[in-house]
Amino acid sequence: MPAIAVALLQLVLFVLLSPLLIGVIRQVRARLEGRAGAGVWQPWRDVRKLVAKDPVRAADSSWMLAAGPVTLLVSSLLLCVLLPLVGTLPLPLVPSDLFVIVSIMLIGVVALALVGLDAGTAFGGMGSSRHMTVAALVEPTLLLAVYALSIPAGTSTLSLIVETRLQNPAVIISPVSLLAMVALAIAIMAETSRLPIDNPSTHLELTMLHEAMVLEASGRDLAWLELGSWLKLAALLGLLGNLILPWGVLTEFTVAGVLVGLAAVTAKILLLGALLSVGEVFLAKVRLFRVPELLAGSFALALLAVTASYLVA
């Protein structure tokens, strides 16, 4: 029961936190670019406005245009429940296993690609094709990077990996960990369509990925797509934060521990979001044909991390 209660608290926190994270990212970027910005609460206003509107769907679209956004949202909500973000208490029957997490992420990726394909528009099909190409390059990197971190723990369960890093801080600053973290950070930026892989702030680029797939969505459909993407970004940044700095993570159920865990993961996510925004200001978008080279480099780093883990072990 304590594990279920923590998971539900974690879910509520991330539903509330993910729009705030996007607001912080946009506001920091606006300030660095010399603009006033719309405020950190603007994403919340946008979602509330979209939820109140009925979606407008193409006459020749199928049920997938309605089911896809909900599928993406549900997969992101599952990530927020299963990942060790506030605490590492194991959930009954559903482990936070690396392969389970990546499989859930893939469900959301495929659902989003089908949404882009469903209306039959040129931009949607182009974006879906590119999205699946990037996903095919990113998922192996995610698996290898976290697998390298799992070797010292002797398990692929993410909660036990975080606990191992908390109990053995020397692992955090090891070369293997640094290689895996760099590879994981690049993979997360690609998975969530952030710079330098994709530019989430424009609908006007022929090289866009995520935005091309959601051009035909409107109303509640667009709200679920946006919220699902924001939740995935927040969850992956929270996981990255706990792997880099596992302190503050709840390992035994206490009221004080829950409060510290909630505060710690909130601080880590907002800090990483601000750093991501600063990086996006100074990074140019990589040319589309250079994206596979960047992702191949991150895969090579993850492979080096795995190899070094076995050599050190």
* Residue 215 scores a pLDDT above 90: no
Q: Tell me which residue range forms the domain holding 175.
A: 2-312
Region 260-281: mean pLDDT is 96
Region 134-163: mean pLDDT is 94
* Residue 201 scores a pLDDT above 70: yes
What pLDDT score was predicted for residue 313?
A: 62
What pLDDT score was predicted for residue 74?
A: 98
Q: What is the pTM of this model?
A: 0.95
Region 250-259: mean pLDDT is 92
Q: In the structure, what pLDDT confidence band is assigned to residue 241 with cuts at 50, 70 and 90?
A: very high
Q: In the structure, what pLDDT confidence band is assigned to residue 204 with cuts at 50, 70 and 90?
A: low
* Residue 205 scores a pLDDT above 70: no
What pLDDT score was predicted for residue 208?
A: 77
Structural domain count, the chain: 1
> How far is C-alpha 146 from the chain's CA centre?
14
Q: Peptide bond preceding 196: is omega within 30 degrees of 0, i.e. cis?
A: yes
Region 75-91: mean pLDDT is 94
